[in-house]
Amino acid sequence: METDEIREELIFAAQEAALAERFGIPAEALVPLLFSLCYGGDWSYAAEGLTAISAVKKTTVYDDERLVGYSLEEIYLFVDPVLLHREGTVYRLEKCGSAPARLLVKRPYRVRLGARRIIRATVHPLERTIRTEDLGAVEMAFTGSTAYGIDHEMEHLAGRGIHGEGLRTFRWGG
């Protein structure tokens, strides 16, 4: 690694470390948010007296005239989340961690989640910025992919893995 790359890594790490102090939360509460940022996807974390999940909402912004766009990511961090409501049923294929293959699972279409703190990080790839803010909310509702991810991560916090049917139950069509 070159000197400039090391310097950039150290500056980025210092900015990450400052987030916990800025929001007045334990540093380990940021683990899911940082994993979503670095590795993508939704994450959960549990330690003595603390739980946290992150959920990613993506929006593609595209300019038809210039033929260029970007995917804006909003990463929501829920500190000490509680699932308040699940609604609807969506059947979807999911794979988790070291599971050998995807499973057909049932997820709610809509969820309402409460939390002690809700922090949003907005990642703008063209501006190369990560804006963070405490939403001051104690509950939020989500639909679609973000709701599925929240439901999945809440399963992890409850100590459950995903359950569903394997692909072998599917039949090939003509």
Is-contact 150 53, C-beta < 8 A? Answer: yes
Give the pLDDT score at 2: 86
Q: Is residue 16 domain-resident? A: yes
Q: Is residue 133 domain-resident? A: yes
Q: Is residue 61 domain-resident? A: yes
Task: Show the domain range for 40.
Answer: 3-169
Give the pLDDT score at 160: 86
Q: Give the closest residue to 122 by CA, choosing from 159, 87, 71.
A: 71
Q: Is residue 155 domain-resident? A: yes
Token pair in block for residue 88: 């609807």
> For every one of its 174 residues, what pLDDT tens digit does the chain have, with 9 covering 90 and above?
788 888 888 888 888 889 999 999 999 999 999 999 999 999 999 999 999 999 999 999 999 999 999 999 999 999 999 999 999 999 999 988 877 889 999 999 999 999 999 999 999 999 999 999 999 989 999 999 999 999 999 999 998 888 899 988 899 998
Q: Is residue 26 domain-resident? A: yes
Give the pLDDT score at 14: 85
Give the pLDDT score at 124: 97
Q: Is residue 174 domain-resident? A: no
Q: Is residue 89 domain-resident? A: yes
Q: What are phi and psi of 12, to 5 degrees?
A: -60, -45
How many domains does the chain divide into?
Answer: 1
CATH number, domain with residue 155 = 3.90.45
